[in-house]
Amino acid sequence: MGFDLSYVLAALPDVGAASLTNAWMAVVICVCALGMGIAFTVVRSLKYAVVNAVISVMISFVRGTPILIQIFLCYYVLPIVGLDLNPTTAGILAISLNSSVFITENFRGALAALDDGPIEAATALALKPAMIWYLIILPQLLRRTLPMLVSEGTVILKNTALLSVITVAEGFRVAQQIGGATFRPFEPLIAVALCFLVLNLVLVGLGTALERRLILKGA
Amino acid sequence: MQLDPTVITDSWRLFVEGTFVTLQLSAMAFVFGLALAIPVAVLSMSRYTALKAVAIVYLAIIRGVPFIALVFIVHYGTAALGARTPAFWSGTIALTLFASAYFSEVIRSTISALPPSQWDSGRVVGMSRWQTLRHIIVPQSVGPMIPPGVNVTIMMIKESSVISAITVGELTYQGLVVQGNTFAPFEVFITIALLYWAITLAFSQLAQWAERRIGRSQKSERPMGGIADRYLTLSTRRPAA
């Protein structure tokens, strides 16, 4: 059958347009995952034994099972307990939850390396815990974990391709449909792979620019 | 909501079979992936720009393209090149490529984390570059490679679930078959999730045991007991004073 570049080029406009769905879903998920990751971290730092035990079982489950299964659970199982989500929402929920767990675990390591001094000083000045988190801990934490957060961003972007299995019309699914319609399944896949490579490059480029800016401001 | 255990007990054979295929896929990709990771790591540490560029492009492609796309590219790509492979082998090849990229990064980052003076010392006592690698660099690197290597392996075991998309009869695929027959998503997906959880937990326990045996387990705990620990530790266990 061989490889025909013209089929790649023919598929590129449609696949590229559909890949923008991956891009905006990834942006939404990044925001949700970061928010949830911070929330888990703050709640865990409060050290309620029962709450932390529940969270640590959840962390172990999310880290120990495939993201694909978590997507299936959110899409097929949540309706049974009365939460009927459309494919896009279920997918965004599943990937956000998954990544938030990896983020809070990473925060745990980074927190241990932070300096005590500023927090002790803030406590002596009677700042409220919320202010200490917001003004002192989070800025340092986010700066230090930025490289990890960027790489989690690329993981999120790649995971959005899995939402094709629950019928979200994103780039990979569109590529498969074009492949089915033209009987040339291989070339559209190359097109979608190119789209993901470009999106990843953009993401990593943005991350590097952000890192450089923050280091200039004095990390 | 009523749980129906017969959904699982009636097709337990499929779940056992699927678990076996998942383990088989993972074991093969582990061995082949590690073998392929060594030349990739060597290339990525090469002094020659052209060789280094080859490794960089390879890593960018394997790690930048979603694994589900990689699986299909291998599966249809071998067919387009005229060598149609059975789905199982397409899956194994794709998972091997995936593992090789991440393993080679583990190798590269562990070796480059060693102080450069280690290389210089080898050269000073008259060893060649190769001898320095063999007698000084590698023995120091194997231990630190274990924890990140375990993480990559667990990631790879989980990623193997995606291979169900090209109809390889591994755990996720068998689960989808049972779910198609019974329309009982809750029972089925919880069961396969628990099986994956058991596999990855067992593997990480095994790895921890191996690490303890080698005696390289390094737990860096921060000195505890200050005001700041209210914020900076997430563990509920009180430190021994």
pLDDT of residue B238: 59
Chain A residues with beta carbon closer than 8 angstroms to that of B77: 186, 189
What residue type is B188 in one-letter code?
Answer: V
Torsion angle (degrees, nearest 10) of CA B152, A215, B234, B154: -10
Minimal CA separation from B212 to chain A, in Å: 21
Q: Residue B84: which pLDDT band, with cuts at 50, 70 and 90?
A: confident
Q: What is the pTM of this model?
A: 0.91
Do the chains contact at A197 and B77, CB–CB below 8 Å? no
Domain limits, chain A: 5-216
Task: Specify the range with the lowest mean pLDDT, choosing from A205-219, B88-102, B166-180.
Answer: A205-219
Nearest CA in chain B to A114: B232
Q: How many structural domains comprise chain B?
A: 1
Give me the CATH number covering residue B210: 1.10.3720.10
Q: Do B200 and A129 touch (CB under 8 A)?
A: no
CA distance B44 to B22: 30
Cα B79 to Cα A15, B86, B123: the distances in Å are 22, 10, 49
Q: What is the pLDDT along chain A (219 residues), one digit of tens a residue?
A: 678 899 999 999 999 999 999 999 999 999 999 999 999 999 999 999 999 999 999 999 999 999 999 999 999 989 888 888 999 999 999 999 999 999 999 999 999 889 889 999 999 999 999 999 999 999 999 999 999 999 999 999 999 999 999 999 999 999 999 999 998 999 999 999 999 999 999 999 999 999 888 876 654
- A113 compared with B163, residue with greater pLDDT: B163
| DSSP state at residue B96 | H
- Residues of B within 8 A of A160 (CB-CB) are 66
Which structural domain range is residue B176 located in? 6-215
Q: Closest to A1 (Cβ–Cβ): which among B80, B179, B197?
A: B80
* Complex prediction ipTM: 0.92
Q: What is the pLDDT of residue B107?
A: 95
Domain-located, residue B43: yes
User: How far is A74 from A63, CA to CA, in rounded Å?
Assistant: 16
Fold of A5-216: MetI-like fold (1.10.3720)
Q: Write down the pLDDT at residue B216.
A: 57
Q: Are B155 and A63 in contact (CB under 8 A)?
A: no
**Rounded CA gap, B61 and B39, in Å?**
17
User: Cα–Cα distance between B233 and B241 in angstroms, integer?
Assistant: 16
User: CB of B202 within 8 Å of any CB in chain A?
Assistant: no
Point out the least confidently predicted range of B30-34, B63-67, B76-80, B215-219: B215-219
Classify residue B239: in a domain, yes or no.
Answer: no
B201, part of any domain: yes
SS3 A130: helix
C-alpha span between A146 and A148 (Å, rounded): 5
